[in-house]
Amino acid sequence: MQNWQPTNPVERRFMDAHSDWMSFAKEQDARLMIWQTDETDAELVRLYFQVQDETSCAVRTMRASFVNEAGYATALADELIAFYDSRREASNVQGVRADWQAPYDDGKNPLLYLFTVVDSLMQHHPDIFPAMIFVLEPVKVRDDAAWVRWIDDLLSIIAVAPQLAERVRFVVPRIDIAPFAALMQRHRAAVRVVHGKYSMASVPRELLAESGERGPSGEFRRHFVMLTEMIEGGNPSRLEELRAAALKVAEREQWFDQCVVVHLIAGAAYLKWCDRERAIEAYRSAASSGMRAVEAGHPAGHKLVANGLFGEASVHLTHKDYAHSAYCYERATASTTAAKDGLMTVEAWRMSAVCWERAGEREHALEAGFNALDAGLMIDEPMRANSNLPMVVEWMVSQLGVQDRRRNALSEKVAALRGGR
């Protein structure tokens, strides 16, 4: 990135994020970076690490859920091993001998085993893994305080035995850093807090100003930018004015996908403002426009319909109308399946199961849970462990007692998801 020059507002902010990253990278004693941003700027940090994931094996975003302190290190080691296994075939095709085997785990010290796995991998492939940086972004954290304690213990062990992590660092992207205050005090030498300020909320207007775009697309984009800014405004009449203006252009040009997006933004605004009826109307309009996109042959049409149904489900869920929420999620599965999107299909069935259970409909809930597991077969096998499937399995286990006759069926489905292992 040394000779690359940014040419637009997103790239300029990307370079600002890169500068913040390099400030941490240059501090050799720092082991943990807490990268603090507001909610809008957090998207840029996610994008930054997404690019790192795709361009460098040495920076890995770790999604393993944090269930408890005892199991987290093992989950991280398993995720790293699964990542390597998923790349074996492609690496061999490219002429890289992907013959590393994970060291034996005696089960005595999970954290020590994690460092052993990392060190073994770096020693086997020093050109690919000269160092390792783990971005800790668990899909689910069951106990925030316990997760912070785990990181605190990690830093304490590194302080006592620095040789364990000479070439290993950790990053925690955060919006709220208050839970880390004591940890930051205890480990001042090892922790760096970066307060990232990137003003991502201003990007749409800047892009519009720089584009000089005219005609229908420029007209639509102007309305769209103002519409997105209205979510924080709390002005329904102005929102409807901008929504109508954007829809007028999109419908005239038969941009049904953009009609969906306009309705989704309106739905999100009304949901935020706790206007249940208007939120439902907006999300139903989004699903309806999505169907028009399907009829017009739009490649993303089915996903657009699903997004409208997911939105309506979230409104019902927010207002504790669990049965209607479950019904919306179930309707969404037809669209996600048609779109061949395994992750969305599993999530739709998973949320349907959760909602039916909260509605007191246990049999419906279990049926939806089994459907979620079946849908998991749509997801590529290497991706399953880091998807939402483990959450489904965990939930199903919690619902089915040891003596339940359906326990065997659950075991069979889990085995199928693991490729028969």
164: its two tokens: 């364990």
Q: What is the rounded CA–CA span in Å between residue 421 and residue 406?
A: 20
CB 167 within 8 A of CB 132: yes
Q: Tokens 């049965």 identify what position?
A: 323
Q: Is 77 exposed, middle or buried (0-12, 13-18, 19+ CB in 10 A)?
A: buried
Higher pLDDT, 331 or 47: 331
Q: Which has the closest alpha carbon to 21: 42, 41, 49?
A: 49
pTM over 0.75: no
Q: What is the rounded CA–CA span in Å between residue 52 and residue 55?
A: 5
Amino acid found at 294: V
| Residues 6 or more apart in contact with residue 101 via CB below 8 angstroms | none
- pLDDT bin (cut points 50, 70, 90) of residue 340 is very high
Q: What is the rounded CA–CA span in Å between residue 273 and residue 232?
A: 9
pLDDT tens digits, one per residue of 385-414: 878 898 999 899 888 877 777 888 888 888
pLDDT tens digits, one per residue of 119-135: 999 999 998 889 999 99
Is CATH 3.40.50 what the domain over 9-200 is classified as, yes or no?
yes
Q: What is the rounded CA–CA span in Å between residue 349 and residue 313?
A: 12
Cβ atoms < 10 Å from Cβ of 362 = 11
Q: Tokens 């941490």 identify what position?
A: 24
The angle subtended at Cα 170 by Cα 186 and Cα 188, nearest 5°, is 20
Q: With DSSP H G I counted as helix, E B as strand and the rest as coil, what are the percentages for the chain, rounded to 5?
A: 65, 5, 25
pLDDT tens digits, one per residue of 60-100: 999 999 999 999 999 999 999 998 988 888 888 888 888 89
